[in-house]
Amino acid sequence: MQKKHRIQRFIFFLVVVLCLPACVRNLPGKTVEPTSTVTDNVTEKDDGNVFTDTLPVEGTAVAPEGGTPIPEGTTFEDPWQYCNAVGTINSYGKEYTGTPSPTVIRELVLEMLNIPEDERASHNVIWRCASGQVLGCDASAYQTCLNVYDLNMTPSAIIEEECRKAEMEGLTLPQAVTGSQTPYEWRCIGGVPKITGQGIPVDEQGLNPSIWFPIPKP
């Protein structure tokens, strides 16, 4: 009989030990962390700062920086509604299903540029979104509408070589030498290239804002 009681006590003790972790996990007041629907990749930069890359859940289209997530399958035919949703984008994505070059945008841009009506048919006007606003550019008049400028202030090897030529002393280098990607004016001073100004303004997207016109919703 005593042996039977010892076996029963042993089994009871074993059950308590096995169930204890589960009981502790579900104590009142214990907060259970929900399963996240996104995956965060945390990376430490060289300067010690930490940034997080958030991977979207499948089925969600993420708008460019400055915008908000757009549910998969959501589409827009109206450029103003589209820009209001995505915020900022240089070229519209699959979510925009409207006319590639809406007449109202095209006409307003060409009107701002004083293009005669009988010449407008040959002009190609493109548009983009910036901070939720529709901007238009005449790609026929400005071939650099979508040119993303390089703000690197280090001269290229070609620029340095050109400034070593005695005849270039004191002269501002032409675009044929500097290239179309730099917004800066380079001048040869003492055989060394120096930046003496910025001939082209550059916005946060790296584009020239002076050739893009805000288009109000009609």
**Inside any domain, residue 11:** no
Range of the domain at 99: 53-142+208-218
Residues 96 and 181 in one domain: no
Residues 6+ apart with CB under 8 A from 79: 92, 96, 98, 102, 105, 127, 134, 215
Asked if 198 and 184 count as a contact pair (C-beta separation under 8 A), the reply is yes
pLDDT beyond 50 at 24: no
**Inside any domain, residue 70:** yes
Q: Rounded distance, CA 177 to CA 195, Å?
A: 14
Residues 125 and 185 in one domain: no
Residues 167 and 113 in one domain: no
Asked if 197 and 189 count as a contact pair (C-beta separation under 8 A), the reply is no
**Inside any domain, residue 151:** no
Task: Establish how many alpha carbons lie within 13 A of residue 73's alpha carbon, considering only the half-sphere containing its beta carbon.
Answer: 2
Residues 66 and 111 in one domain: yes
State pLDDT tens for residues 67-126. Answer: 557 788 899 999 999 999 999 999 998 999 999 999 999 999 999 999 999 999 999 999
State pLDDT tens for residues 127-151. Answer: 999 999 999 999 999 999 999 999 9
Residues 133 and 216 in one domain: yes
Residues 87 and 130 in one domain: yes
Each as own residue / partner, the long-range contacts of residues 135-143 (CB below 8 Å, 24 or more positions apart, any chain) are: 135/212, 135/213, 135/214, 135/215, 136/105, 136/106, 136/108, 136/109, 136/212, 136/213, 136/215, 137/109, 137/211, 137/212, 137/213, 138/109, 138/110, 138/113, 138/211, 141/113, 141/115, 142/208, 142/211
- Do the bridges between strand 213-214 and strand 133-138 make them parallel or antiparallel, or are there none, so unpaired? antiparallel
State pLDDT tens for residues 164-189. Answer: 999 999 999 999 999 999 999 999 99
The stretch 22-44 carries a mean pLDDT of 35
Split into its structural domains, the chain has a count of 2
Q: How many CB atoms lie within 10 A of CB 218?
A: 9
Residue listed under structure tokens 């460019």: 64
Q: How many CB atoms lie within 10 A of CB 31?
A: 5
